[in-house]
Amino acid sequence: MQNQTPVDSGSGQQPLKQNQSAPTVAENLTANHAELSQPIIMAAQLEQTVKTATNNITILHQLDLSIRAGEQVAITGRSGSGKSTLLGLLAGLDQATQGQVFLCGQPLHQLNEDERARVRLHYVGFVFQSFQLLDHLSALDNVMLPLTLSKTVSPRQARLRSQQLLERVGLQDRMLQTPRVLSGGEQQRVAIARALVTEPQVVFADEPTGNLDGHTARAIEDLLFNLNRERGTTLVLVTHDLALASRCNRQLHLQDGRFREELLNFKSGSNHLTRSVSGD
């Protein structure tokens, strides 16, 4: 990316330094309303191109996006539309070919891989579609891992918080089992508990209920939305589940790497406004 004019992230936060602890969600909620209404995620002219042996394939085309603190945003679209790619770029898992991404005031497009990892550790919870659990660790140890790495709480507090979350996702009897002996739905619930254990400012979730039965899926959805209401956590979800998407404040529909439609939900599941979004 050359000769690009920086976009003001609008957050007023300073870059996160090595060994520096990020402010907790509770601390941020004590800030004034004007600060909370600032964008917590912002992308400008975001483009992702993949090189193949014969040509270049553009997955995302110059997307602009702003998400404010405490919002619930669902990204929908057909398989191959670029949803998971976009989620990874917004969370700092990957770097875009072109464009700028600010997350919690951090300029992800200017950071190297280690620096982006520190940002994720302190600000982000991520629910991977493929779970990304460590097979040699128990469910409890998998959930505790982000707290162990961040060293933001004592080992005793980390264990207690992890146990409480595993109980909330219905795995109180499976805490000491390794992923190898857990079902796909149980592994997904471990992954969700791990994403929430640091009390992150932003939760990114790629098909968070895709491997769950209907009853468990609704319970997990309630957990995510309760977290949003209680702590002001920002939710960004990729989903094919239109019922889940309708619970969010906003739905952004991706088609061929471009935003084609935005749905604003004034009430859960009803009273919404649809507007077209130019992708060119």
Domain map (residue ranges) of the chain: 68-93+109-276
Q: Is the pTM of this model over 0.85?
A: no
Sign of CA dihedral 39, 24, 13, 117: negative
Chain segment 68-81, per-residue pLDDT in tens: 999 999 999 999 99
Q: Quick one: which of 126, 128, 125, 124 has its CA closest to 187?
A: 128
DSSP 86: H
Which tokens is 109 given? 């497009």
Tens digit of pLDDT at every position of the chain (280 positions): 444 444 444 444 555 555 555 555 444 444 444 445 679 999 999 999 999 889 999 999 999 999 999 999 999 999 999 999 999 999 999 999 999 999 999 999 999 999 999 999 999 999 988 899 999 999 999 999 999 999 999 999 999 999 999 999 999 999 999 999 999 999 999 999 999 999 999 999 999 988 888 888 898 899 899 889 988 999 999 999 999 999 999 999 999 999 998 898 865 444 556 565 654 4
Residues ≥6 apart with Cβ < 8 Å to 173: none
Q: What is the pLDDT of residue 267?
A: 54
Say if strands 234-238 and 202-206 run parallel, antiparallel, or are unpaired: parallel
Distance, in Å, from the CA atom of 175 to the CA atom of 12, rounded to the nearest integer, reads 40
Q: What's the CATH fold of domain 68-93+109-276?
A: Rossmann fold (3.40.50)
Q: What is the pLDDT of residue 189?
A: 93
Q: What is the separation, in whole angstroms, between the first and last Cα of the chain?
A: 20
Which tokens is 280 given? 């060119």
Using an 8 Å Cβ cutoff, are 68 and 40 in contact?
A: yes
Q: Write the single-letter amino acid at 81.
A: S
Q: What is the pLDDT of residue 225?
A: 93
Q: What is the pLDDT of residue 277?
A: 61
